[in-house]
Amino acid sequence: MNQNTLFTSILSFTLISAFLPTILAQATDKKLIYYHDRANDTHNKHVSLLPLVQNTSDISVTNILIATLDLNSTGLFLRSGAKELDIDSPAFDNLWTDVAEVQKHGIKVSGMMLGAFRALSGNDTWFETNYAILHDGIKKHKLDGLDIDVETADAITLDEVIRLIDRLRKDFGPTFLITMSPVAEALSGGRNLSGFNYKTLEARRGDSIAWYNAQFYNSFGLVSSTDDYDAIVDYGFKPKKVVMGMTTDPANGDDFVPLDKTKETLQKLVAKYPGFKGVAGWVYFDARPGRQEAPWKWAQIMANAIGLSRAPKNSREKQRGLHFEA
C-alpha cells in the first residue's frame, strides 16, 4: 500500500465513521405507529397484535399506543370500543399478553390518554392523589411511554401539562417515551383543542417530548398533499419531531385519504425532509386495506412508503438499541 492509498483509506474510514451514525440514525429513527383502541373487534373477537411480530419481515411497526386511557379520582380506565373498564379488568388479559409479546420483539408500547385531564390539573394534593393512580397503572402494565392528547380547552393549563411531563420524566427516567397527539393545525398556529400553544410547550419542554403525533384528520389537516405538514415545518417544528397521523378507515374519522394518494404524499415528505419522523394510524383493528381480517397490511404499505424496513431478526434488537432515541 503506498502512502496515497493509505491516506485515502484512512480518509474514507474517517469519513464513513463520521457520517455512518448519522445515516443509520436517520434510517432507523422513523416511527411507524398504530393506535390500538380496542381489545375486541365488532364481533367481540380478540384483536391480536401478534401478526405484527410474526411471519412477515416487512411490517416494521415501531410503536403501539394503547388507547384510550381515562383517569379520575376513583381509578384508571381503558376505553375499548364502546366499553370503558378498569385497566386491570380481566377483559383486558389478552391485550396485556399481546403487549408483553410485541415488546419482546422491540416494539415500544405506550398508553394514550385522551380527554380533559381534569384529574391532573388543579392543586398539588389533587394532582398527587390522581397521578399516583396513573403511575401505578403505567408501572404495573410495563408501559414504555405515555401519549398525551388534551382535547378540552380550559381544563388543564400549560404549566399543569408541564408538571405532568416533568413528573413522568423524573419517575420513569430518560428513556420513557413522552409523546403528544395534538391536531395538526395546532402545530402551525391554527386551531387547537388543548387550549395552550404547542410552540411555547416545545420551547419549554421540547427536550422531554419525544415527538408529536399530529392528527391530520377531522378537518385539522390533510394527508392528500404535503401542504399541511409543510406549514408545520414553516411554523418552526422540526420534521424529526412531527409524525403524520391519519385515519386508517373512513369509519375512524373524517378526511380519510385513499392509500395510493397517502403514499405519494409520504414519499414526497421523505424526499423533502431527511429527518421526517414517520406515520401514525388511527386505528389498528380495522385498518385498510386488510380491515378486520388483516389490519397489519396498512403497516406494510406505510413501511414501504417511508422506507422503513425491519432488520434481520437476529440483529434487530441490537440495531434498535444502538440508535434508540427517546
* Contact between 34 and 284 (Cβ < 8 Å): yes
Told to check if 133 binds ligand NAG by CB under 6 A, we report: no
Q: By CB under 6 A, which span of 80-88, 135-143, 209-217, 264-272 interacts with ligand NAG?
A: 80-88
Judged by CB, which is closer to ligand NAG: 73, or 225? 73
Among 17, 125, 170, 314, binds ligand NAG (CB under 6 A): 125
Q: Which one, of 209, 149, 214, 139, lies nearest residue 179 by Cα?
A: 209
- Give whichever of 73 and 309 is closer to ligand NAG, judged by the CB atom: 73
Applying CB under 6 A, the span of 53-61, 166-174, 237-245, 310-318 interacting with ligand NAG comes to 53-61
Cell digits for 50? 401478534
Concatenating the DSSP letter of every residue in 181-243 gives --BGGGGTTS--SSSS-HHHHHHHHTTT--EEEEE--TTS--SSSSHHHHHHHHHT--GGGEE
22 scored as a contact of ligand NAG (CB under 6 A): no
Residue 195 CB, shortest distance to ligand NAG, in Å, is 5
Contact 183, 221 (CB under 8 A): yes
- For ligand NAG, the closer CB: 45 or 170: 45
DSSP state letter for 46: B
In this structure, the number of other CB atoms found within 10 A of the CB of residue 324 comes to: 14
Where does this chain touch ligand NAG (CB under 6 A) — which range of 99-107, 121-129, 268-276, 280-288? 121-129
3-state secondary structure of 112: strand
Between 4 and 125, CB nearer to ligand NAG: 125
Out of 57, 72, 175, 315, the residue judged to bind ligand NAG by CB under 6 A: 72
Q: Which of 34, 285, 296, 298 binds ligand NAG (CB under 6 A)?
A: 296
- 289 binding ligand NAG? (CB under 6 A): no
Burial of residue 250 (number of CB atoms within 10 Å: 0-12, 13-18, 19+): exposed
Please choose, from the candidates 180, 193, 264, 251, the residue with its C-alpha nearest in 3D space to the C-alpha of residue 222: 264
Residue 197 in contact with ligand NAG, rule: CB under 6 A: yes
Residues in touch with ligand NAG (CB under 6 A): 39-40, 44, 46, 51, 54-56, 70, 72-74, 77, 80, 83-84, 91-92, 122-123, 125-126, 153, 192, 195-197, 296
